[in-house]
C-alpha cells in the first residue's frame, strides 16, 4: 500500500463542521494510521466571518501534533480559505494559513453556484505575491462542470487543482464524473479526502483502491504522496495540466485561440437547457 499525505481534511475539533471533540479526532487518527497516512494538514474552514480572531482556528495544533505523533503521523498547519476579494489585503494573517505556514501554497474554496467575478484576479494576486493558489475540489463547482473553459481560466491564473476523494467516489453524480474527468485527463495535481467524521469510511483509502486499476503506480503515488509532500515542504511543482493530454487545448485557450474542439455548438446549448 502506498503511503498517503492528506492535505484537505477536517481533523481539529470544534473549529468547523469537523470532529466535535478530541475523542472523535483520536478515532480519526487511529483510522488514518490504519490506512498508511503519514502526513496530514488539517484544513479548518475560514469564512469571511472567521477572520476576526483567526488565530483560534489553529489553537488545537500542538495537541493534535502530540496525538498524531503517537501514530507516526506528521501534522502541518493549513486552512480551507473561502475566496473573498480582499484576501491580499489580509496578507499578514493569510501567511500562517498557507501550507506549513511557509507562504508557498494556499487552499482556496469557491462558491459552488457562481464563478466570482474576481476569481482570476484573486488567483493572480496571490501568485504574484509568491503564494500558489490551490483550488479546493474544483469538481464541485457547477460553473466549472458546465464549461471547462472556466477551469482553464483558473489554470491560466497559475492555480493548482485538489480533487476530493469523497466526490470522486460518487461515480454516478456529476461531481464524481467531473472528478474522474480531471484525474483521467491528468489535470488533478493531487487528491485529498475532505474527511469530516469517522462516521464515514475514510474516502482517500477507498479512492486509492478504485484508482489502482486505472492509473500506474507512479501516477497514483504522485497524486497521493509525491505532490502533497512537496507542497508541505514548500518545493516547486510543475502544474499537472502542463503535461496533460489537454495541454494544447489549454495553451491555445490561454493565448486567446479556442481550438475547434472547444467551440460550443448550438445543439450543446440545447442539451444544456434541457437538463435544467
Work out how close the CB of 8 gets to Fe ion at its nearest, in angstroms, rounded to a whole number.
Answer: 6
Question: In this structure, are residues 126 and 88 in contact, taking their beta carbons and an 8 Å threshold?
Answer: yes
Alpha-carbon span 14 to 25, nearest angstrom: 10
Q: Checking DSSP bridges between strand 45-46 and strand 80-82, what pairing results, if any? A: parallel
Based on CB atoms, which residue is closest to Fe ion, 231 or 246? 231
Instruction: Return the axis-axis angle of helices 148-156 and 247-254, rounded to nearest 10°.
Output: 70
Point out which residues bind Fe ion (CB under 5 A): 80, 194
Alpha-carbon span 50 to 232, nearest angstrom: 24
List strand residue ranges (DSSP E) for the chain, in order: 4-9, 37-42, 45-46, 74-75, 80-82, 105-109, 132-136, 160-164, 190-192
Cell representation of residue 155: 489554470
Question: In this structure, are residues 223 and 191 in contact, taking their beta carbons and an 8 Å threshold?
Answer: yes
Q: What is the dihedral of CA 225, 229, 231, 237, to 10 degrees?
A: -70
Based on CB atoms, which residue is closest to Fe ion, 197 or 235? 197
Based on CB atoms, which residue is closest to Fe ion, 165 or 187? 165
List of residues 6+ apart from 198 with CB closer than 8 A: 19, 24, 27, 28, 31
Work out how close the CB of 17 gets to Fe ion at its nearest, in angstroms, rounded to a whole number.
Answer: 9
SS (H, E, C) 139-160: HHCHHHHCCHHHHHHHHHCCCE
Based on CB atoms, which residue is closest to Fe ion, 6 or 194? 194
| C-alpha distance across the termini of the chain, in Å | 42
Based on CB atoms, which residue is closest to Fe ion, 80 or 189? 80
In the complex, residue closest to Fe ion by CB: 194
Work out how close the CB of 149 gets to Fe ion at its nearest, in angstroms, rounded to a whole number.
Answer: 25
List of residues 6+ apart from 121 with CB closer than 8 A: 85
Task: Single out the residue of 231, 57, 42 nearest to residue 132, CA to CA.
Answer: 231
Work out how close the CB of 43 gets to Fe ion at its nearest, in angstroms, rounded to a whole number.
Answer: 6
Based on CB atoms, which residue is closest to Fe ion, 188 or 250? 188
Based on CB atoms, which residue is closest to Fe ion, 79 or 119? 79
Alpha-carbon span 155 to 141, nearest angstrom: 15
Based on CB atoms, which residue is closest to Fe ion, 6 or 80? 80
Amino acid at each position: 500500500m502506498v503511503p498517503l499525505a492528506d492535505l484537505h481534511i477536517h481533523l481539529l475539533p470544534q473549529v468547523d463542521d469537523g470532529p466535535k471533540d478530541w475523542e472523535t479526532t483520536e478515532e480519526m487518527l487511529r483510522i488514518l494510521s490504519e490506512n498508511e497516512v503519514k502526513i496530514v494538514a488539517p484544513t479548518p474552514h475560514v469564512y469571511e466571518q472567521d477572520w476576526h480572531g483567526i488565530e483560534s482556528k489553529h489553537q488545537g495544533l500542538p495537541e493534535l501534533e502530540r496525538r498524531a505523533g503517537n501514530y507516526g503521523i506528521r501534522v502541518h498547519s493549513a486552512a480551507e480559505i473561502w475566496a473573498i476579494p480582499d484576501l491580499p489585503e489580509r496578507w499578514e494573517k493569510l501567511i500562517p494559513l498557507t501550507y506549513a505556514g511557509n507562504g508557498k501554497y494556499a487552499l482556496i474554496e469557491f462558491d459552488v453556484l457562481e464563478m466570482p467575478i474576481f476569481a482570476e484576479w484573486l488567483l493572480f494576486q496571490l501568485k504574484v505575491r509568491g503564494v500558489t493558489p490551490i483550488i479546493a475540489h474544483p469538481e464541485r463547482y457547477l460553473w466549472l462542470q458546465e464549461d471547462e473553459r472556466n477551469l482553464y481560466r483558473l489554470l491560466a491564473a497559475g492555480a493548482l487543482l485538489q480533487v476530493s476523494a469523497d466526490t470522486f467516489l460518487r461515480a454516478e453524480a456529476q461531481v464524481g464524473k467531473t472528478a474522474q474527468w480531471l484525474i483521467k485527463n491528468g489535470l488533478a495535481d493531487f487528491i485529498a479526502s475532505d474527511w469530516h467524521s469517522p462516521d464515514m469510511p475514510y474516502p482517500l483509502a477507498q479512492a486509492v483502491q478504485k484508482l489502482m486499476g486505472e492509473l500506474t503506480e507512479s501516477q497514483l503515488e504522485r497524486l497521493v504522496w509525491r505532490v502533497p509532500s512537496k507542497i508541505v515542504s514548500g518545493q516547486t511543482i510543475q502544474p499537472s495540466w502542463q503535461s496533460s493530454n489537454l495541454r494544447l487545448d489549454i495553451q491555445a485557450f490561454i493565448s486567446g485561440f479556442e481550438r475547434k474542439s472547444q467551440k460550443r455548438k448550438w445543439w450543446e446549448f440545447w442539451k444544456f437547457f434541457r437538463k435544467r
